[in-house]
Amino acid sequence: MTATTAGEKTAPRAPAPRGPRRVPSRFLPVIATFVVFVATFGVGSVRYEGFASGQVVANLFIDNAFLIVLAVGMTFVILTGGIDLSVGSVVALSTMIAAAALRAGWPPLLVVLAVLAAGSGLGLAMGWVIHRFGVQPFIVTLAGMFLARGLCFVISVESVSIKDPAFRSLATGTIELPGGVTITYGVVIALVAVLAAVYVLHLTRFGRTVYAVGGSESSARLMGLATTRVKIGVYGISGFCSALAGLLFSLYMLSGYSLHAVGMELDAIAAVVVGGSLLSGGVGFVVGSVVGVLVLGTIQTLISFEGTLSSWWTKIVIGALLLAFIALQRVIVRRS
């Protein structure tokens, strides 16, 4: 038996060799989404001539600018562990308010303010009901969905065309980028919304509280965080983003219609989940949601380039991707 005598110093141990640093688990879904986007775009580039061009990438943003803004608002809600089923109907209601107000002769700036105020007000009202009465977000936002869709039909059953010169010039205006690529003003608005959301979520107390509420609301409350303001506020943000998406959609379609954006709330939820946000809350990134929208847009572009496939294949592929990413999230949660 060997032992060190009193006062005898043992030789220092050599530091254990460090292996490669592992990527934090919260980044894995976003990385997986980006890999899927690169893979799907790569398949299109190999299979179809002219697919791998800057304008095709720009078109992904042009055709999905409103969905990007919608996914930004949905990200805030899902990060707190909630859900918002009303966003598609609010988009339709926003197009109807904009078209009807412009037809009545309202100034375009006043129309924009009225639409944003209506969407934000409806979102804040739903958030207040969820918090005040402890009702599940699914039920409250489902009621909001029916309310907004019904208000669309109250305004007009028929489609209302937008003929205002300012709206039309904004809708048809383009911005030239190097390489002969053009984008619309809607893309710029969507990217500004993304940057603002990134700033709020990662560089403000409100954003940190959003993640804390999604991780554990009771713990966040014990830490003295403003959980009430955040729980109501995220639905106000979602309503604001839905109204802004409705304005972009009205520019895209140049009309207001009661049946616009039917099912768009499911596209927004799918984009956020595919982008790596956990439905249970607390984990997710706005950038991931944007990449999720691009994945959905790339799938739709692939099917349109194919030409022989039904558009319903888009829904089938998105459903398969959604199930795959939910399974990936469960694996990551269990390992962590």
The CATH number covering residue 157 comes to 1.10.3470
- The answer as to whether 169 is a domain residue is yes
Total structural domains within the chain: 1
Neighbours of 132 (CB within 10 A): 10
Distance CA 255, CA 261 (A): 12
The helix or strand, by DSSP H or E, that contains position 160, with its residue range, turns out to be strand 160-161
The pLDDT of residue 117: 98
Other C-beta atoms lying within 10 Å of the C-beta of residue 123: 30
Indicate whether this model's pTM tops 0.85: yes
Q: How many CB atoms lie within 10 A of CB 68?
A: 29
Is residue 256 a part of any domain in this protein? Answer: yes
In a domain, 20, yes or no: no
Please tell me the predicted confidence (pLDDT) of residue 3.
47
Q: Which residue has the tokens 């895209």?
A: 252
14 within some domain? no
| Confidence (pLDDT) at 28 | 81
> pLDDT, tens digit, for every residue of 230-258?
999 999 999 999 999 999 999 999 999 99
Which among 273, 255, 261 is positioned nearest to 330, based on CA atoms?
Answer: 273
Segments in the chain below pLDDT 50: 1-8, 19
- Structural domain contains residue 143: yes
Q: Which two tokens stand for residue 153?
A: 């039909």
Give me the pLDDT at residue 292, please: 94
Kindly state the tokens that stand for 136: 């599940």
Domain for residue 108, yes or no? yes
Q: Residue 293 is part of which domain span?
A: 53-335
- The dihedrals phi and psi of 259, each to the nearest 5 degrees, come to -100, 15
Give residue for tokens 């919304």: 193
Calpha distance 311→328 (Å, rounded): 27
Residue 310 forms part of a structural domain = yes
Radius of gyration over every alpha carbon of the chain, rounded to an integer in angstroms? 23
Residue 4: predicted pLDDT? 47
57 domain residue, yes or no: yes
